[in-house]
Amino acid sequence: MSGLLKRGIGALALVAWLVATGSGAAQADAFAEARLKYERGQFADAAREFEAMAAGPVVSAGVLYNLGNARFKNGEPGRAMAAWLAAERLAPGDMDLQSNLEFARRRLGTHRPAPWFSALNKLRISDWAGLAVGAAWLWAALLFASRQDARWRERLRAHVVVVGGAAAVLLAAYGTALWRRWHQPDAVIISAGGVPARFGPVEESPVAVPLAEGAEVRVRDEFPGWYRVEDPNRRGGWVPADRLARLP
Amino acid sequence: VVTAAALKFYGRPALYLALLCWLALAARGASATAILDRLFIEEGETVNLQVIAEGVRQVPQPNLDGIPNLAGGRYLGPMQKSEIINGAQNFQIIHRYLLQPARQGDFVIPALSITTEAGTLRTAPVRCRVLPAEPKTNSLSLKIITERTNYFVGETVPYEIQLYANADLQQVAPPKMSLDGFVAGREAPAGNGSTYRDGQTFSVVTYRQTATPTKPGQLPLGPASQQFAVRIRRQGRGGFFDDFFGGSETRTGEVDAPARVLTIAETPAQGRPVGYAGAIGRFEIRAEISRTNLAVGDPITVRFTVTGQGSFDSLTPPGIASTAGLQTYPGTNSFAPADALGLIGTKTFEQAVVVESPDVREIAFQPFHAFDPESRRYLSVALPPIPLNVAGPVSGPGVAGGGPTNLAAVPVRVVMVEDLRPLKVAPGRTGRLVAALSAEPWFPFLAVAPLLAYALAGSVKRWTARRQERARPDRRELQRRSVANQVQDLARLETAGDASRFFAALNGALQAQAALVLGKPAASITGELAAEELAARGLAAESVERLKRVFAAADAARFASLALPEELAFWRKEATELIEAMRHLEVGR
């Protein structure tokens, strides 16, 4: 029975590996095919293929980045921004990605984040969390150990101070990254030519401020079919839900 | 103490870190390069890879594992090369490989990392194109190769002529090329290499040249022909004497390559900006002027620097916008190629301008347009105008000869013909596009919850201990309670008329209270001792006397414990008052 079970598990593992390898190879072929179309100037086709690859629950930063490029070249800067900003969630330190975001923001005349945030952008928020929590736990372990014995207390005192300082710095960085995440835009205007933000969630409401295509906004309130959004300068209003793309 | 201990522990790692940083800085003087000997090969052929490290003495063999599309490879060994250039010694270590790609398409050697004494060096990725295999039936064959078959009028076409020789090649003449419909461009020095295919080794002579199509249509690039001389062995026995006295002869011949037909198109009319002057490629452009503070009549030099990749021959400067009071003169240009074929480089245009009116406030430029053949789009950039400060009358002669002036202190305006960064060649890091747990507001608290729990538990423990400590009566308190109990007993025993036990309680209460004041065991307290030491502590003399009497009475009662109720009441009152008087002497009350 035990041997049968082992063989069964082995066969299942083999099938899983073959499926994974096969799907990986198919994915690589599709990626190369989409790239080729982009290089040939078939941006709409390339965008469609990259979109299909980005439809799954697990996506790669490279696919989203290339999708952004294809959409931008295809004249859809708002949707391109949405793809790049999604890619930024996965690979915030990617220099090409940051360059394209900067290029697009400059081209679209939309808000550009303060440069000092770029240092925090080198790591994902989960990376900052891991570093900060790890340092805090290490500090706590050292503190606990130092409390067990007078000799240990003397021996570990310097480590407690240094690791505690490092933990404090990392926690501060994590806190700043969190603060930024809670305040950074979570949606992008994708409507061609921009969209007027209105005082109320009805088409008849007067225009409060026009929002450009590709403008990064934060959703503050919801109403069926409408979002109340604010740009980084705290200007905003209600826009139809289909005119913007929510970011993950 | 903490600082010293921290330095002691962290000092060494910090030193190592500093050393690593220094090595990394030192490594900036060292470099590594990867070179493939041919840009185009055929399927089934080998290509030579050289990894060249400069400025270091020891370089381990780079690891080529994981190179995609690699069917096989062989390490040919290291080679050292030393040369002195301008008095500075340049030392190179070269690792050589023979590689065979697996299939057609791009064969890319990714960036290789080499760990040296000067730190980790990285090479730039290199690539070659693997073309379909063509049979090599003759001992010599010639072919023309281009990277693609579609080009635009005015676009520089780089091409290669490759001569394959499976013979003892003695001499070759430069190839003759028919370029009907093209303008011949630059030539790179010929490259000699070798390849292994079909079980044989071929010498490959590569000529890299450029040509620019001048009209649209199906244009043949070529044909090409090349004269050669090979040495062949004479018919004979082939012994020592044949070899020594010339057993071989040299024969000449000519080998031809068929033309390669290219599809040449005009740059698209759709989207072509007004003022497009035929620039093809991807460029950055910079404009600068010799000075901005000048007087009417002063000449200034406007310099445009165009850097990038493309057809520099057809490149023209953006031009200065026509402005009243601004006289422009014909300019000069120069080109500094960064590669052998002049496809990458910097072209500089200089133009003399004379300001003839004090009303001129700026130099404005016409937009610069270029067609990018890769994305098949036009890229445009508007150079911002450079403000001028024109003051006063004519201060000197006008422009003489239009020569460039000193550009040392020039404000530089940089504007680039920008575009997106290129596509990623690999999907890269994957992940789920859901909000990270670590971004939730409660996560930091959850993450440090055990720490908080630890700290909270410690605080609770300390607080409980302190509370218990406070709640627990101390020895003095117990003594006080004992005194109070005994005083209460006195009243009870007085009522009961139990003289014996009354005086025992009286003695005990006084001893306990005196012990509280003096800090001594109650059993050690006698009347004399109490009187003497309490007097020293400030007990009034009259009280001291009364104390002596009470102790004496209690002492006497041990032998004759009979007493009237009035006496018991008297002694109880005396004892109570003395205890109260002694309480005032207690420290800390």
Reduced to 3 states (helix: H, G, I; strand: E, B; else coil), residue B442 is coil
- pLDDT at A226 (0 to 100): 93
- pLDDT at A115 (0 to 100): 61
- pLDDT at B242 (0 to 100): 57
pLDDT in tens, A119-172: 667 777 788 888 888 888 888 888 888 877 778 888 888 888 888 899 888 888
Query: Predicted confidence band at A15 (pLDDT cuts at 50, 70, 90)?
Result: low
**Any idea which of A2-11, A62-71, B467-476 has the lowest mean pLDDT?**
A2-11
Using only C-alpha atoms, chain A has a radius of gyration, in whole angstroms, of 24
- pLDDT at B25 (0 to 100): 54
CB contact under 8 A, B424 and A62: yes
Predicted TM-score (pTM) of this structure: 0.46
Cβ neighbors of B433 (< 8 A, separation 6 or more) are: A59, A86, A89, A90, A248
Q: Give how far A28 is from chain B: nearest CA, Å.
A: 8
Q: Is B13 on the interface with A (CB under 8 A)?
A: no
- Cβ within 8 Å of B, A 179-218: 181-182
Cα distance between the two ends of chain A = 47
pLDDT in tens, B430-444: 777 766 677 777 777
Cβ neighbors of B467 (< 8 A, separation 6 or more) are: none
Q: Which one is predicted more confidently, A25 or B193?
A: B193
- The secondary structure of chain B in percent helix, strand, coil, rounded to multiples of 5, reads 25, 40, 35
- pLDDT at B394 (0 to 100): 44
Residues of chain B with pLDDT under 70: 1-9, 21-29, 83-90, 118, 234-247, 392-419, 429, 434-436, 472-473, 561-562, 587-589
Q: Is B400 on the interface with A (CB under 8 A)?
A: no
- Three-state SS letters, chain A: CHHHHHHHHHHHHHHHHHHHHHHHHHHHHHHHHHHHHHHCCCHHHHHHHHHHHCCCCEEEHHHHHHHHHHHHHCCCHHHHHHHHHHHHHHCCCCHHHHHHHHHHHHHHCCCCCCCCHHHHCCCCHHHHHHHHHHHHHHHHHHHHHHCCCHHHHHHHHHHHHHHHHHHHHHHHHHHHHHHHHHHCCCEEECCCCCEEEECCCCCCCCEEEEECCCCEEEEEEEECCEEEEECCCCCEEEEEHHHEEECC
Q: Give how far A222 is from chain B: nearest CA, Å.
A: 19
Best residue of B9, B420, B448 to probe chain A, by most A CBs closer than 10 Å: B420
Cβ neighbors of B581 (< 8 A, separation 6 or more) are: B539, B540, B543
CB contact under 8 A, B2 and A157: yes
Nearest CB to A96: which of B5, B374, B421? B421
Q: Give how far B27 is from chain A: nearest CA, Å.
A: 23
What is chain A's mean pLDDT, rounded?
A: 82
Q: Where do runs of H (alpha helix) occur along B425-526? A: 443-447, 449-471, 475-496, 499-518
Q: Which long-range contacts (CB under 8 A, 24 or more apart) does A49-58 make?
A: A53/A27, A53/B427, A54/A83, A57/B432, A58/B430, A58/B431, A58/B432
Cβ pairs A/B, distance under 8 A = 126
pLDDT in tens, B222-242: 899 988 888 877 665 555 555
- pLDDT at B29 (0 to 100): 61
- pLDDT at B395 (0 to 100): 42
Q: Is B239 on the interface with A (CB under 8 A)?
A: no
The whole-angstrom separation of Cα B515 and Cα B480 is 10
**Any idea which of A4-13, A102-111, B411-420 has the lowest mean pLDDT?**
B411-420
Q: Is A50 on the interface with B (CB under 8 A)?
A: no
Paired with A178 in beta bridges are: none
CB contact under 8 A, B420 and A86: no
Cα distance between the two ends of chain B = 42
